[in-house]
Amino acid sequence: MLVSLSTSLIRVRSLLLTLGCTVFLAACNDSSSSSSSASSGSSSGSNPIVVETFTTNSATELASFDIAGPMDPNPGCVPDEASNTPLPEGLLVYRRDEQPTRLVVFAHGNGHFVRSSWLPHMRRELQLAQFYENNPGSVAFVATDYRDNLGFPALRGAHDTIAATLRALKQFPSIETVYLFGVSMGAAVSGTAIAESVTLPTGESKFTADGSPLFDYWIDVEGVSQLAETYTEAAVAAQISEFAAAARDGIERDAGGTPPECPLAYYRRSPAYHAATMKLGGIRAATVVHAVNDGLVPHNQGRVMAAALTTATIPTQFFTIVGVFPGQDPGTTGTETLQAGELDPLLNLAGHGSEAQAFHPVMRVAFENLRKMLDGTYNETVPYFECLVDPNLPPESCQVDSFQP
């Protein structure tokens, strides 16, 4: 199991079990404007939770900014315009009458929707935030679906995520720190969003009035860091998997073609190549979490991303999730992808977890690190730390908080 949690976080985990499923539902808006409502209270007696729905129109909201990227030599490398509609839904979750100082931005993965997969996480984490020992409360959460949401919109999703972030910052000018949390395809989306927000060579943000960073911390969870590799794997698997075929086609729609046809488009959408830009743009620290037997995004993509971040001198913690408890769902495994899934109950190796499940070890470790960041107990002074997470390892095997620079 993981490893070095502060006393406050242990308290938070126990509270998570007792809070139950208390939720507060907000009304939706029409297609052109946002509206919100909230229930009359919460289980803890504090301000009610507001779930505000909005439409993300990044083409309009980012029109005044320079978001042009490198042009491929092939003039045919143009993203599919038809995939820009319909405009996606976004959710902003916060406590009424509170002026948050911290914003968490979630970027979802392939095949997911914010309302079904992430709204439960947002409600839960907002409840837990009030129990932090060092820095309670004052947190808001935002997430958006993407144009071509069921495709593979790495760049479109990045721009939609930036637009959703700017909307939250405009509504809450009190926000001082932004934490970006991306899962699977959402890691490619979020990592690309960081790179897209930076003006080169100055490092100033394109989207803030004073050029200060748009994003401060990044959590990459079982993430795609090299899009060409993911495309190649999807193209091979497409022969036997409709899911893989849809991913392949979605990547082509977003990039405008295949990797040989549009190499710069794939480069632009691959966070592993932009770690130096992230550093220049002000990312203070990063956490990478990846399962050793991931059957959708191989573990090497996480390792490459962690290595790139470390090389760029961004303090990085890399968690390899090795095992699951006997009988626990491992997620989508590499052994299953190789049609040897009958071995999974014997191996008990962790695979690609569903982002909707908070207690898969990949997601659990990711949320534990987010809570440490929000509570001010995350150790961002160590240049690089690597940890193996496994039920058979003693808790003291991963004492990152005991290290000093």
CA distance linking residue 317 with residue 298, whole number of Å = 18
pLDDT of residue 383: 94
Which has the minimum average pLDDT: 17-21, 59-63, 354-358?
Answer: 17-21
| SS3 call for 340 | coil
pLDDT of residue 37: 38
- Is pLDDT of 39 > 90? no
- H and E: helices and strands count for the chain: 13, 10
The mean of the pLDDT values for the chain is: 88
CA distance linking residue 131 with residue 165, whole number of Å = 25
Q: Quick one: fold of 7-402? A: Rossmann fold (3.40.50)
- Is pLDDT of 401 > 80? no
What percentage of the chain reaches a pLDDT higher than 70?
88
pLDDT in tens, 277-307: 999 999 999 999 999 999 999 999 999 999 9
The token duo for 233 is: 């794997």
Measured in whole angstroms, the distance separating CA 346 from the mean position of its chain's CA atoms is 31
Residue in the structure block whose two tokens are 């539902």: 25
- Is pLDDT of 333 > 50? yes
pLDDT in tens, 118-148: 999 999 999 999 999 998 889 999 999 999 9
Nearest-5° Cα angle at 56, 222 to 26: 90
CA distance linking residue 55 with residue 93, whole number of Å = 14
Residue 293 · residue 338 · CB < 8 Å:
no
Grade residue 46 by pLDDT with cuts at 50, 70 and 90: low
